[in-house]
Every structure is written in C-alpha cells, then in structure tokens.
Amino acid sequence: MAMEVAVVPRRELFIDGEWKEPVRGRRIPVINPATESVIGDVPAGTEDDVELAVSAARRAFSRNRGKDWPRASGNYRAQFLRRIAAKIIEKKDELAKLEAMDCGKPLDEAAWDMDDVAACFEYYADLGEALDGKRKVPISLPLETFKCHARKEPMGVVGLITPWNYPLLMATWKVAPALAAGCTAVLKPSELASVTCLELAEICKEVGLPAGVLNIVTGLGPEAGAPLVSHPQIDKVAFTGSTETGRQVMGYASQTIKPVSLELGGKSPIIVFEDVDIEKAVEWALFGCFWTNGQICSATSRLLLHESIADDFLDKMVSWAANIKVSDPLEEGCRLGPVVSVGQYEKIKKFILTAKNEGASVIYGGVRPQHLDKGYFILPTILTNVETSMQIWREEVFGPVLCVKTFKTEEEAIDLANDTRFGLAGAVLSNDPERCNRLTEEINAGIIWVNCSQPCFCQAPWGGNKRSGFGRELGEWGLDNYLSVKQVTEYTSSDPWGWYGRPSKL
C-alpha cells in the first residue's frame, strides 16, 4: 500500500493530561479511503493503557474531595468547554480536512460537523452552568418533621465509545455533557477514524483542562474497548455503533452491573405521499439516504412511495442521483465521498449482489464510478422490486444504498414502516398536516422528521427504540445521562423518634 506524505500529526495516547506512548508500543495505520494510501498512524492502546487512563480519571474525580472537577461550580467547568469550542472554530479548516481524509466524508460536510462540535460544547457549557441552581430539588413530604430534597450528582468515571462516521462530533455528543455534568471520562474512538479525537486531546492541553478529566485511548475494540467497558472502576458506559457490538457492550457492562446507554443501528423508513411537491421530496429522499456517504445510523434507507407517483418520482430521482458529484472528499463540490474502509466497501458490494440475486433491480448505481479507479467509492444506489423478506430491506447496509417499495393506503405505509427490528428514525413527507401528525404518533421510532430527513440539533433528544438502543443523547436528556439522583432526608424535630420507647434504666 502506497505511503503519502504524512499529513496526520503524530500523536500518542492522551492520559492524565499528557501524551503517553502505548505500553506495548503498537500503532494502527491511517488509510485515506479516497486514495487507499497510508497518511499516518495512531497509537494502538490495550488493556494496560486503559488501566492507566481509568486510574487517571478516577484520581481526577476524587482528588482532594474539595473544589475539584466534580465538586466545582458549573461556571468553572463551563469555562473549559467554551475554550474548547473557541479552539475548534479556530482550527476548523484543519480539523475538517483531517476528518475528510480520515473517514471519507465530503469536506463541506466535515466543516459543517466542526461548527456543530463547537456549538455542542457551547450548549453544554450553558447547561452545566444552569445545573448549579438545579442540583438540589426540594420534595414536599406529608410529615412536617422531615425535610427532603433530591440531589443531582455526576455519575462518576464514564467510558465513552464512539463510531467512525462522525468521529469528532459523536465524541462531542458524549464528552461535552459528561464534562458539563462533572464526570471524568475515558474516550475510546473507532480505530477506523481516530485522528480528530486525538486533536481534541491537543486542544484540551492547550486550554489547560485539568489532568485526568478527559483521557483518550485509541485502539482496537477487543483490545481497548472491551477492557474499558468491563473495568470495575468505570461507573457508566455510553456507546454508539452497531447493534451487534452494542449487544457485546451490554454483556461486558453486566459483569459489574453498570448503567449503559446505547445508540445503535437503524433501517429507517421515509414515507412519501401523493400530495407532495415531487422535486422537493426527491431531494429529501436522496439526502436522507446519501448524506455522509450513506454511512449514518439514521439513514432513511427504506423509501415507501405512494404508487400513484412512483414512476414520475423514480425518474426524477435517477436524474438527481446521476447529478451527485462523486469524488475525492477534498474536491470542491463533492457530495459523495468514499466509504470508510475496504472492509465496509466489500460488505456493501456483497449486500447489492445478494439483493440482485434475490430479484431486486438496480435502477441506478451499484458499482464503482468509472472515473475513479482508486478509493472505496460506490455510486449512489437505488433498488426497486424489493420484497420485505430480502436482506437489503431488513438489514442495515451503512452505505449509499436506497431500497424502494410502493404502497396504496396510509395503513399499509404504517405497517411497512414499522415492520422492522429497528426503531431509530422515520420521515413522512406530505402536504396534509393532519396526516403528518397521525404518522408521527404511529411510526415506532425515537426521531421523526416531517417533510425533511436527517436534520439534527444539539438541543433536541436523539436515540431510538427496539434494537436501535435505549437512552437519549443531546438536549437536557444528554446531560441527564451523566447524572445520578440522590435522596437526602433530614429529621428536623427536637423530639425523639419514640418508636421503641425510652429504656427504664436511662
């Protein structure tokens, strides 16, 4: 495999506020998915490094038992989050370029992600400050001889495991609320895209984040992720990734009975009714599946079309798909880059081949673009004649592949939408507000879009039902993920309790 000029800064593991070489000295190559060339490497942490990172986070959480990180004011912690946000904006162009070369997303998308990263840190800085006034919640009791309140306290040392499709943004969704809540953390990014998470470590050093508050251990899942989840000194785990890996995370966490929040896979529907503006609906249907190169857990990759508009809709969709610029992510105007790795590339091709063998029709894409002879590129792919029993309809592809079925009635559309083991997201496109309202209630998913697909805001909850996981990130719900609730009840009477009576000898 060719070696390009190293463009990835050489970093080590970030433990206790310092760069530390992995104990076993191993590293993982960073491969640019657009060129298939090695552009650097990242450290490969193992159980030994996880032990050091967790110990550092534990010291940072319990140090002095005074005005340290978990017991400091929300204002104190918010200052660091805001400094991080400012540094993200300052380094936005550099970070976006690294992100694009690391995971293959178009540069414009990566730049947008950096804006979202900064906004998320700012948002949780605000919530962290506001938490000061909400830590003690008074509770009304039926007996005047008692006073009671509930305290919100940081969960402790948390383990955060994040995916490769939004490397820095998904890390931020966990890091920002965890730190705002007063937790200390160990972050394990995906081995397929860790570069910008290590740059976050450099930013933490630059802004003076106290040692041990955030530790970052890159490495393979079995060698670094599993020891982190099962570590007895980790108090809570937050994971985003595949459903199968989420099942393993639950198993590891169960060994020490620790809480887990999971944001897993999806196979989300987008329902298009006959009363839509077809041009607008076509673009949302494409965006809902092909954004982030189709590598997004909430992708609305099952298109349900009312049969009366299907022919016209699909004709227009093919024309629009053919106009999508597929190129190196750094090229101006790129709207679809390569998928993240050769393994993902081969997996997607196998999905498409199986679908064709089962009788589905590829009406656009399904192959490598003719003008690109290197890189893990697949044209945006649209399949029709798809049956609900087919693998392509039921399983998450995590690539630029859209399946299409038609329906006759609203009831049929709802049944098709909910006939899945997943429940992350769904979309309904219609000019009938009452119909849209009905479907937001009928679709079994944690996120519903009306006349759009994929917009996400850090103020709104994010998470799914069924095998798409449980728990919610973002918004106030994201902060609650990292807070535990303690009851404090005080006996206020000057009289003895008197249950047992006074012993006669006293």
Report which of 1, 26, 5, 92 is spatially closest to residue 341, judged by C-alpha positions: 1
Q: How far apart are CA 241 and CA 478, in angstroms?
A: 17
- 82 with 177, same domain: the answer is yes
Report which secondary-structure segment, H or E, holds 127. helix 107-131
The whole-number pLDDT of residue 3 equals: 45
Q: How far apart are CA 403 and CA 389, in angstroms?
A: 12
Residue 451, Cα to own-chain centre: how many angstroms? 23
pTM of the full structure = 0.95
Residue 82, Cα to own-chain centre: how many angstroms? 21
Share of the chain above pLDDT 70, in %: 98
- 329 with 412, same domain: the answer is yes
The whole-number pLDDT of residue 473 equals: 97
- 339 with 204, same domain: the answer is no
463 occurs within a structural domain: no
Crossing angle for the helix pair 92-103 and 195-207, to the nearest 10 degrees: 160
- 352 with 254, same domain: the answer is no
> Among the options 204, 297, 334, 458, which is catalytic?
297
- 58 with 168, same domain: the answer is yes
Mark whether 297 is an active-site residue. yes
- 259 with 274, same domain: the answer is no
3 occurs within a structural domain: no
Residue 111, Cα to own-chain centre: how many angstroms? 17
Q: What does the pLDDT average to over 352-374?
A: 98
From residue 76, how far is each of 125, 174, 202 by CA, in Å? 10, 19, 20
Q: Are 11 and 19 in contact (CB under 8 A)?
A: yes
What's the half-sphere exposure (Cβ side, CA atoms, 13 Å) at 326? Answer: 26
What's the half-sphere exposure (Cβ side, CA atoms, 13 Å) at 173? Answer: 28
500 occurs within a structural domain: no
Residue 324 has pLDDT above 90, yes or no: yes
Burial of 204 (0-12, 13-18, 19+ CB in 10 A): buried
410 occurs within a structural domain: yes
501 occurs within a structural domain: no
SS3 letters for 149-208?
Answer: EEEEEECCEEEEECCCCCHHHHHHHHHHHHHHHCCEEEEECCCCCCHHHHHHHHHHHHHC
The whole-number pLDDT of residue 506 equals: 60
Q: How far apart are CA 72 and CA 142, in angstroms?
A: 34
Residue 23 has pLDDT above 90, yes or no: yes
6 occurs within a structural domain: no
- 217 with 288, same domain: the answer is no
- 251 with 281, same domain: the answer is no
- 420 with 307, same domain: the answer is yes
Q: Are 394 and 300 in contact (CB under 8 A)?
A: no
Using pLDDT thresholds of 50, 70 and 90, give the confidence band for residue 430: very high
Structural tokens at position 21: 């070489």
Q: How far apart are CA 466 and CA 419, in angstroms?
A: 12
- 305 with 251, same domain: the answer is no
Q: CATH number for the domain including 316?
A: 3.40.309.10
The whole-number pLDDT of residue 2 equals: 47
Which residues constitute the domain of residue 337? 269-450
The whole-number pLDDT of residue 64 equals: 58
pLDDT per residue over 275-321, tens digit each? 999 999 999 999 999 999 999 999 999 999 999 999 999 999 999 99
Q: What does the pLDDT average to over 239-264?
A: 96
Structural tokens at position 79: 């200052």
> Among the options 122, 263, 396, 473, which is catalytic?
263
Indicate the number of domains in the chain: 2
Average pLDDT, the chain: 96
Q: CATH number for the domain including 233?
A: 3.40.605.10
Least-confidence region, from 59-68, 147-156, 241-250, 433-442: 59-68
347 occurs within a structural domain: yes
Q: What does the pLDDT average to over 230-253?
A: 97
459 occurs within a structural domain: no
Q: Strand locations in 322-450, DSSP E?
A: 361-364, 381-384, 401-407, 422-423, 425-429, 447-450
Helix (H, G, I), strand (E, B) or coil at 93: helix
Q: What does the pLDDT average to over 377-396?
A: 98
pLDDT per residue over 190-212, tens digit each? 999 999 999 999 999 999 999 99
Asked whether the CA dihedral 293, 296, 298, 304 is positive or negative, the reply is positive
- 248 with 292, same domain: the answer is no
Using pLDDT thresholds of 50, 70 and 90, give the confidence band for residue 184: very high
Residue 67 has pLDDT above 70, yes or no: no
- 410 with 477, same domain: the answer is no
